[in-house]
Structures are given as structure tokens and as C-alpha cells.
């Protein structure tokens, strides 16, 4: 299992950042470079515990679909989405939101994943990370 973590400071309170991160339209706007769009499940509005959404996007010259479910929800501190079907053997994305003491938010994204296709997937992943 591989993982990566991204920490971002946001000049907005945790509840507001939490809501924006769960909003399907906000997500697709942030991924416009890959032409990502919601094509199944809940395709508009704010996701809640148990909701699914299927995104379609273009990466590495290929069109991919990923269906994710919100599996954990603790507003405004954390939520988790996990792949139910898609290009990864496993994909789990935990979103953490903490007040920064100045009215803003420290957002910490922790992604755990396993590449598909066994050794071939590991080679492709290693090659894509080295370039």
C-alpha cells in the first residue's frame, strides 16, 4: 500500500472548507484541466455519509471512471471517500480540517492507494513518479 499526504492552508473556516470539499460542482471545477465530470450517483450538491458519485476524467491520454462512496463523515473535522470501482486496486482519501487559530483552516489530505495490475502497475507508478 502506498500513500501520500498534502497539507494546505485555506483562508476560510473549517465548516466552509468542509462543505466546499464535499460539493460535486466545486470538485469538478477544480479538476477542469482533466475534463472531470460527475456521471453517476449523486452528480450535484453536497455529498453526505453513504453517498456515491462516479467521476469520469481524462488522464495520461485515457478516459477513466472512478466510483467513490463517502464512508466516514465527522463534520467539520473529517470525511473519507473510498473507491468502489475504478482504475486503482484500492483508493482511500481522508480529508482532515483543523482550525489554524486565525479563522482559517489547515486542510490535510491523506491518500492511501494500491496500483492495479500487480508488478506492471508498480512499474507504471514508479515511472510516473520519477518524471
Which residue is listed with cell 470501482?
A: 85
Q: What is the pTM of this model?
A: 0.85
Strands (E), 1-131: 2-10, 37-41, 52-59, 62-74, 78-85, 90-99, 105-114
Asked whether 13 and 99 are in contact (CB, 8 A), the reply is yes
Q: List the CATH number of the domain containing 113.
A: 3.30.530.20
What is the number of other CB atoms lying within 10 angstroms of the CB of residue 121?
15
- pLDDT at residue 130 in the model: 40
* Segments forming the whole domain that contains residue 85: 2-130
Instruction: Give the count of domains, the chain.
Output: 1
What confidence tens digit (pLDDT) does each residue in 43-70 have?
Answer: 999 999 999 999 999 888 889 999 999 9
Amino acid at each position: 500500500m502506498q500513500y501520500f499526504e498534502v497539507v494546505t492552508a485555506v483562508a476560510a473556516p473549517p465548516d466552509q472548507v468542509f462543505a466546499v470539499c464535499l460539493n460535486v460542482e466545486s470538485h469538478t471545477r477544480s479538476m477542469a484541466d482533466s475534463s472531470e465530470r460527475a456521471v453517476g450517483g449523486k452528480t450535484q450538491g453536497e455529498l453526505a455519509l453513504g453517498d456515491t458519485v462516479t467521476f469520469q476524467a481524462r488522464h495520461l491520454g485515457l478516459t477513466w471512471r472512478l466510483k467513490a462512496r463517502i464512508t466516514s463523515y465527522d463534520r467539520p473535522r473529517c470525511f473519507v471517500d473510498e473507491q468502489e470501482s475504478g482504475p486503482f486496486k484500492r483508493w482511500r482519501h481522508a480529508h482532515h480540517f483543523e482550525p489554524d487559530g486565525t479563522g482559517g483552516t489547515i486542510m490535510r489530505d491523506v491518500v492511501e492507494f494500491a496500483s492495479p495490475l500487480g508488478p506492471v502497475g508498480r512499474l507504471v507508478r514508479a515511472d510516473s513518479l520519477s518524471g
